[in-house]
Chain A
Amino acid sequence: MAKDPKPNRPTHTRRLWLIPVVVIGLSALSLTGCEEEEIGAYQTAKSPPYAPPAPIDAAQSHAGHDHGQAHQETIRWDVPDGWQADPAPSAMVTAVFNISDEAGDLRVSVTKLAGDGGGTLANINRWRGQVGLGTVAAIQDQPITSIKTDQFTADLVDLVSPPGAAGRFERMLVVSIPRQETGQTWFIKMTGPGGAIDKHKQDFVGFVGSISFEGGHP
């Protein structure tokens, strides 16, 4: 009897259904192994008593203090003549100074935030929005100058509201001082009419240059 020139190859072709069966089986297995998230309750050792936010020191005379719980550090500065410290700034702000000028009143705030304060580019675009400028796609698109001291290098952004723009401020100077030592960033912001900021910009830069930090780890 002549041999079939094309012998059947049933085992390879007919049993390919095994593969989807294995995949489906594994899927079913994985579903049974899934942990459903649920609300849970347990007891733990007593944690430290709740500490209500400590009142933030207003900038008294010529020095301000910041006592973060996570990282102890004291900030000090020299206040230029004519700057009036706000005795009761909001709890989120370390210090606020008001400057009266015939060209318009100015406000300087000193704020500390964790990390980079929400991202450099996001901050720049937020500040630009506050003076009525459009956003930039990259940090490099925003002119930034540096203020160097023995302890830190700060970035200074000078933003001017374009004519006719509906910005919250006419002009804004913002300085950011990243503190590697504490993992926080300080922001010093001057806002007000452009002409007044022109007159007081040197004082603002001098104020930033006078800042020093003490007592941070190690």
Chain B
Amino acid sequence: MSGWIKQVLKPVASLRLTVALFAAAMVLIFVGTVAQKDQGNWQVVNEYFRSIWLWMPIGIAGVRVPFVGGYTLGILMLVNLTAAHTVRFKFSWKRAGIIITHLGMILLILGEILTGLFSVEWNMTIDEGQSINYAEDIRVSELAVTDPSDPEHDDVVVIPQGILAGHADGAPIHDPLLPFDIQVLRWMPHSGLAGLGMADPALLASNPATHGFGTIALAMAKATATGVDGGEVNAPSAYLRLTHNGQVLGTYLVSLHGIAFEDPRQPVTVGGKTYLIELRFRRDYKPYTMHLIDFKHDKFVGTEIAKNFSSQVRLVDPTQNEDREALIYMNHPLRYRGETFYQASFKRDESGTILQVVRNPGWLMPYIACSLVSIGLIVHFGVMLGKFVGRTRR
């Protein structure tokens, strides 16, 4: 190896750096775990572990310090380990176990980086007898403005949650794709809904809604769901004033709680044409449809303890000439087009299933990595045992 490469790699391969990285990882994991008390799980994962750096709270109100994020630590560990092997370690059969173990660890880190960057997790909620051609991301919402006038298809314009929240200062959202301008009067990242008859008079007096759901229900802001809320999902609501050419069309309440109504969509008429608006979980439309034939929740006889959950589905994909049935149950997912469909949950009245749709190009790597680490440790133990026995005999 040329001298200058070695000179560059030597400090990177430092054992001190290894110890410092492990110490930083412990701090990050500890603070990240505690943070789930006040923040949602996925918010913490993205902010602490799938980030380059972050402003880390240090336990004093409002005081934060910059700290390395999970990606930086992972990549530095990777660089540190590979540099150490390049500069310091020499291959010999005696060290084979250590090298295999380290190879496993390198794969583990690479696998997590791949998962963090490229994996997606969505939900498919399907009622018995219903067909669905989209999955939902229950961590984030979108405002959908649908033009249903074409008899063949719907034209949908979607505004991501980030844009709605970013315009909570009242600045209008204007886009040539939209049939009207939208002014976000109030944005609530998490909310509850109450009938007007149950609300405080003070809240009633400040109800800005003039049309739709908002005239019969009131949305109230709630603290956002945290990692200790037992899987509670944020349900945003917003009050939107819609205008067209300077003319106010009305102020509407849009809410993830819209499902409480007969139809979660609300009609808005502009220039004689009716559009439907709906705040919903972000959707990812698929080229295939999933039809739920039957959902079963088996219990152990005489108890309420779950024995098995299973979904009998029919998968239809005209683009691949695919039309088949499949049974999805615990630990027995369906794999199709690079996506894995797990039996994740079900509707509370057992009228439908909730499938988790996961696309993870690095899904196999943790299995290979753990196998390599195990093999490496066994080899190393064997080598050391042989050495010890040899020494004892002498």
Residues of A within 8 Å of B76, CB to CB, are 19, 22
A: which residues have CB within 8 A of B?
11-12, 15-16, 18-19, 22-23, 26-27, 30, 33, 37-47, 49-54, 68-71, 90-93, 109, 111, 113-115, 117-119, 122-123, 126-127, 129-130, 168, 180-184, 187, 189, 216-218
By the criterion of a CB under 8 Å from any partner CB, how many residues of chain B are at the interface? Answer: 67
5 A-B pairs within 8 Å (CB atoms) are namely A16-B11, A39-B159, A53-B261, A90-B195, A183-B348
- B193 interface neighbour in A19, A114, A216, Cβ under 8 Å: A114
Contact between B154 and A37, CB atoms less than 8 A apart: no
**Interchain nearest-CB distance for A152 vs B (Å):** 14
Contact between B154 and A46, CB atoms less than 8 A apart: yes
Residues of A within 8 Å of B200, CB to CB, are 126, 129-130
A41 vs B142: C-alpha distance in the bound complex, in angstroms? 12
Given A15-B8, A92-B217, A130-B200, answer yes or no on A114-B260 (Cβ-Cβ < 8 Å).
yes
Tell me, yes or no, whether B63 is within 8 Å of chain A by CB: no
Residues of B within 8 Å of A109, CB to CB, are 197
Contact between A15 and B216, CB atoms less than 8 A apart: no
Contact between A40 and B158, CB atoms less than 8 A apart: yes
Tell me, yes or no, whether B337 is within 8 Å of chain A by CB: no
Given A11-B10, A70-B259, answer yes or no on A113-B195 (Cβ-Cβ < 8 Å).
yes
Interface string of B184-217 (1 = CB under 8 A from A): 0000000011111111110000000000000011
Residues of B within 8 Å of A26, CB to CB, are 52, 71-72, 75
A187 vs B197: C-alpha distance in the bound complex, in angstroms? 11
Contact between A50 and B265, CB atoms less than 8 A apart: yes
Tell me, yes or no, whether B386 is within 8 Å of chain A by CB: no
**Interchain nearest-CB distance for A129 vs B (Å):** 6
Contact between B75 and A92, CB atoms less than 8 A apart: no
Residues of A within 8 Å of B259, CB to CB, are 70, 114
Contact between B197 and A15, CB atoms less than 8 A apart: no
Given A23-B52, A26-B72, A50-B267, answer yes or no on A41-B262 (Cβ-Cβ < 8 Å).
no
Contact between A180 and B52, CB atoms less than 8 A apart: no
B: which residues have CB within 8 A of A?
7-8, 10-12, 14, 17, 51-53, 68, 71-72, 75-76, 79, 117, 133-134, 146, 148, 151-160, 162-163, 173, 175, 177-178, 192-201, 216-217, 220, 222, 257, 259-263, 265, 267, 274, 276, 285, 347-351
Number of A-B contacts (CB under 8 A): 172
Residues of B within 8 Å of A93, CB to CB, are 195, 197
A217 vs B12: C-alpha distance in the bound complex, in angstroms? 62
Residues of A within 8 Å of B274, CB to CB, are 50
Residues of A within 8 Å of B153, CB to CB, are 43-46
**Interchain nearest-CB distance for A4 vs B (Å):** 19
Contact between A39 and B158, CB atoms less than 8 A apart: yes
Contact between B158 and A71, CB atoms less than 8 A apart: no
Given A44-B154, A51-B263, A180-B348, answer yes or no on A30-B148 (Cβ-Cβ < 8 Å).
no
Given A12-B11, A50-B148, A92-B217, answer yes or no on A43-B197 (Cβ-Cβ < 8 Å).
no
Residues of B within 8 Å of A118, CB to CB, are 192-194, 220, 222
In addition to A44-B133, A45-B133, A126-B194, 17 A-B residue pairs with Cβ atoms within 8 Å of each other are A18-B12, A19-B17, A26-B52, A37-B160, A39-B160, A39-B175, A41-B155, A41-B158, A44-B154, A46-B153, A52-B263, A71-B349, A92-B197, A117-B194, A180-B349, A182-B349, A183-B349
A182 vs B347: C-alpha distance in the bound complex, in angstroms? 9
Given A23-B52, A50-B267, A189-B198, answer yes or no on A39-B11 (Cβ-Cβ < 8 Å).
no
Residue of A nearest to B297 (CB): A218
Given A11-B10, A27-B53, answer yes or no on A43-B154 (Cβ-Cβ < 8 Å).
yes
Contact between B263 and A53, CB atoms less than 8 A apart: yes
Closest 8 A/B residue pairs (Cβ): A118-B192, A114-B260, A92-B216, A217-B349, A92-B195, A15-B11, A37-B160, A183-B348
